[in-house]
C-alpha cells in the first residue's frame, strides 16, 4: 500500500517498453493494423505475443493502483488543506491515463476497436466545439483512411506519453524525495506475475472490424471501458454530465467541507545554529536555509514556508537543540511545533512515567494503535508523528530509568507524513543525524511498523515481548 503511486509509474514503464516493441511491427493502415497484431499474437507469440499481453496487463494494473491510491489517500485524509495540490493535480493524470488506454483499443481495429471508435466519436460529437461530425468517419470502410491510424499511433505513442510525463512531474514536484520507483523486489515480483499471466492467458484480438456490420458480442475491458455501455442506454450528454460530476466532486473534495489548518512550525533564532537537519528531513520541502538575519556568527537560518508546512513535527525530531536534558535554560529548540512543543512532549513523558511502567509507548495522533493502547490502560505518549521524537528523548527515558523499554508505533505501518517512520528508524540505528547516543542500549527500543492489515497484531506481539523482557530484566 505504500508504493501504489510508484507502482503505477512502473506499470507505465512496462507499457512504454512493450509499446515500442509493438510499434516496430505495427502497420498504420486500415488493412495492416489488425493483421500486424495478429502476426505478433500468433506467429511471434514467444516475444511479440508476450509483449502485447504485458502491454495489456500493465495498462489494466495501472488503473487498479490508481484507484487504490485515490481510495488510500481519501481514507487517510491526506488530500486536504495544504495537500490539495497533489490531490487535484492527480485528476488530469487520471483522465490522461484513461484516454491513453482507450486510444490503444482503436489501434487494434477489431470489433471492440470498432465499438470504441464509434462510441468515442459520438461522445466527442456531443461536445459543441467540433465543426464536423467525427462519427461520419466510421460509416463505411471506404471512408476510413490510413492517415487515421497514423494519427492515432502518434497520439497513443508520442503525444499522450509526453502529457503523462509532465503530469507525473506536476503531481509530485511539491514533494521532497518523491518515491518514483517501487522496491526492486516488488518490481521483480510484479513483473514475474505479469509474465505468468501473459503465458497462461495471452491477450488476443476479437474478430476484425467491419463497418458494414454491427458487432453483436463483445468482450469489454471493464478497466477502461466501464462507462461505454452507458452511451447506448443514455445519451452522450448524460454520460458527459456523469463524468464531469464525478471529476468535479474529486477535484473539490479537499474543500468539502473546509478543514482547519494546524499552526506551522516556528523557528527560534536564539537556538537555531543553521545546521540544516530540519530542512534535510522535511518530507514536503517546507524549510529552506537562508542567510542569517540576526547578525549571529552562523551562516544560515531555517525559514518555514507556510504554504508547504503540514505541522508534522519531523523537523523537531531532527533538531539537535531539542533535548530534554536542559537544566539551566528553557526547553526551546531551534524549531518547534506550537500546538505540541518539545516542552509539552517532555511533560507528557514525565506524566506517563510517574508509576514507572515496564514499557512506555509512543503512538501517532489518530492512529488505531494509540486508541488500542489507551483503551488497554498502557502507558503511552501521543505524538503528531513518531518522527517528531528526538533520539535524546529516548535517551532521557532510559538513562533516567523512567521506563525499562520503549515501543514506537503508529499509522499502521503506513506513515501519514511519508518519512516519519523511516527517519525514526534510521536515527535509532545511528544511520541518520541526530542519532541515538552509543550509551543507550538500542535493544531496549522496539518499533512496531506493520502493514496496515496486520498492524494491531504486530503491535500486541511486540508489546508483549517487550513486557516479558522488562520483567526478566527486573527479576
Question: 473 to each of 161, 345, 446, how far by Cα in Å?
Answer: 61, 27, 16
Query: 98, 81, 71: which is closest to 250 by C-alpha?
Result: 71
Long-range contacts of 343-351 (CB under 8 A, 24+ apart): 345/381, 345/383, 345/388, 345/389, 345/393, 346/393, 346/396, 348/381, 348/382, 349/324, 349/381, 349/393, 349/396, 349/397, 349/402, 350/402
Query: 109, 104, 96: which is closest to 15 by C-alpha?
Result: 104
Return per-residue pLDDT of the chain as tens, 475 residues.
Answer: 678 899 999 999 999 999 999 999 999 988 899 999 999 999 999 999 999 999 999 999 999 999 999 998 998 888 988 889 999 999 999 999 999 999 999 899 999 999 998 899 889 888 887 666 766 667 666 667 788 888 888 889 888 999 999 999 989 877 778 888 899 999 999 999 999 999 999 999 999 998 888 888 888 999 999 999 999 899 999 999 999 999 999 999 999 888 888 899 999 999 999 999 999 999 999 999 999 999 898 999 999 999 999 999 999 999 999 999 987 789 999 999 999 999 999 999 999 999 999 999 999 998 889 999 999 999 999 999 999 999 999 999 999 999 999 999 988 667 889 899 999 999 999 999 999 999 998 899 999 886 665 667 788 889 999 999 999 887 6
CB of 122 within 8 A of CB of 236? Answer: yes
- Starting at the earlier edge strand, list the strands of the sheet with 405-409: 380-383, 359-364, 405-409, 445-448
Question: What is the predicted pLDDT for the residue at 261?
Answer: 84
Q: Kindly give, in sequence order, each residue whose CB lies less than 8 Å from that of residue 240, ignoring residues fewer than 6 positions away.
A: 123, 126, 127
Question: 424 to each of 2, 145, 325, how far by Cα in Å?
Answer: 17, 61, 20
Query: Distance from CA of residue 450 to its chain's centroid?
Result: 18
Give me 238's grid cell: 448524460
**DSSP per residue over 117-130, as a string?**
HHHHHHHHHTSTT-
- Positive or negative: CA dihedral 277, 177, 79, 380: negative
Fold of 4-255: Cytochrome Bc1 Complex; Chain C (1.20.810)
55-98 tens-digit pLDDT: 999 999 999 999 999 998 998 888 988 889 999 999 999 999 99
Give me 260's grid cell: 482547519
Question: What is the predicted pLDDT for the residue at 139?
Answer: 60
- Could you tell me the residue ranges of all domains in the chain? 4-255, 266-474
Question: 291 to each of 141, 264, 294, 302, how far by Cα in Å?
Answer: 70, 21, 9, 9
| pTM of the entire predicted model | 0.85
Element (H, E) at 381: strand 380-383
Amino acid at each position: 500500500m505504500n508504493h501504489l503511486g510508484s507502482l503505477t509509474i512502473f506499470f507505465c514503464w512496462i507499457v512504454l517498453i512493450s509499446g515500442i516493441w509493438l510499434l516496430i511491427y505495427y502497420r498504420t493502415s486500415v488493412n495492416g493494423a489488425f493483421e500486424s497484431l495478429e502476426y505478433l499474437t500468433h506467429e511471434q507469440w514467444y516475444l511479440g505475443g508476450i509483449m502485447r499481453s504485458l502491454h495489456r496487463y500493465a495498462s489494466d494494473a495501472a488503473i487498479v493502483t490508481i484507484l487504490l491510491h485515490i481510495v488510500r489517500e481519501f481514507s487517510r485524509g491526506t488530500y486536504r488543506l495544504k495537500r490539495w495540490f497533489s490531490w487535484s493535480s492527480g485528476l488530469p493524470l487520471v483522465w490522461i491515463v484513461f484516454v491513453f488506454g482507450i486510444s490503444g483499443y482503436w489501434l487494434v481495429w477489431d470489433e471492440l476497436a470498432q465499438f470504441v471508435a464509434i462510441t468515442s466519436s459520438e461522445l466527442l460529437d456531443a461536445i459543441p466545439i467540433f465543426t464536423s461530425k467525427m462519427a461520419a468517419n466510421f460509416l463505411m470502410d471506404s471512408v476510413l483512411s490510413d492517415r487515421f491510424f497514423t494519427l492515432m499511433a502518434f497520439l497513443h505513442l508520442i503525444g499522450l506519453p509526453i502529457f503523462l510525463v509532465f503530469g507525473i512531474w506536476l503531481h509530485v514536484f511539491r514533494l521532497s524525495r518523491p518515491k518514483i520507483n517501487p522496491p526492486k523486489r516488488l518490481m521483480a515480483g510484479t513483473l514475474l506475475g505479469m509474465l505468468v499471466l501473459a503465458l497462461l492467458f495471452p491477450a488476443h484480438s476479437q474478430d476484425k472490424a467491419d463497418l458494414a456490420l454491427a458487432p453483436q458480442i463483445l468482450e469489454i475491458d471493464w478497466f477502461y471501458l466501464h462507462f461505454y455501455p452507458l452511451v447506448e442506454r443514455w445519451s452522450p450528454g448524460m454520460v458527459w454530465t456523469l463524468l464531469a460530476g464525478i471529476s468535479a466532486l474529486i477535484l473539490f473534495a479537499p474543500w468539502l467541507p473546509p478543514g482547519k489548518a494546524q499552526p506551522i512550525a516556528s523557528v527560534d533564532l536564539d537556538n537555531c545554529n543553521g545546521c540544516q537537519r530540519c530542512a534535510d528531513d522535511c518530507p514536503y520541502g517546507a524549510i529552506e536555509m537562508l542567510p542569517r538575519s540576526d547578525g549571529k556568527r552562523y551562516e544560515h537560518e531555517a525559514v518555514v514556508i507556510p504554504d508547504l508546512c503540514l505541522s508534522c513535527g519531523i523537523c523537531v525530531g531532527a533538531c539537535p537543540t531539542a533535548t530534554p536534558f536542559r537544566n539551566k535554560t528553557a526547553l526551546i529548540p531551534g524549531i518547534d511545533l506550537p500546538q505540541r512543543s518539545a516542552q509539552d512532549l517532555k511533560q507528557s513523558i514525565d506524566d506517563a512515567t510517574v508509576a514507572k511502567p515496564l514499557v512506555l509507548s509512543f503512538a501517532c495522533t489518530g492512529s488505531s494503535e494509540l486508541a488500542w493502547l489507551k483503551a488497554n490502560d498502557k502507558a503511552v505518549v501521543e505524538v503528531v508523528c513518531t518522527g517528531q521524537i528526538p533520539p535524546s528523548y529516548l535517551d532521557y527515558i532510559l538513562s533516567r530509568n523512567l521506563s525499562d523499554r520503549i515501543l514506537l508505533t503508529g499509522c499502521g505501518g503506513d506513515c501519514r507524513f511519508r518519512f516519519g517512520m523511516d527517519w525514526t528508524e534510521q536515527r535509532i540505528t545511528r544511520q541518520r543525524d541526530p542519532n541515538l547516543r552509543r550509551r543507550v542500549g538500542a535493544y531496549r527500543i522496539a518499533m512496531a511498523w506493520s502493514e496496515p492489515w496486520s498492524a494491531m497484531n504486530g503491535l500486541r506481539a511486540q508489546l508483549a515481548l517487550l513486557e516479558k523482557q522488562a520483567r526478566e530484566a527486573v527479576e
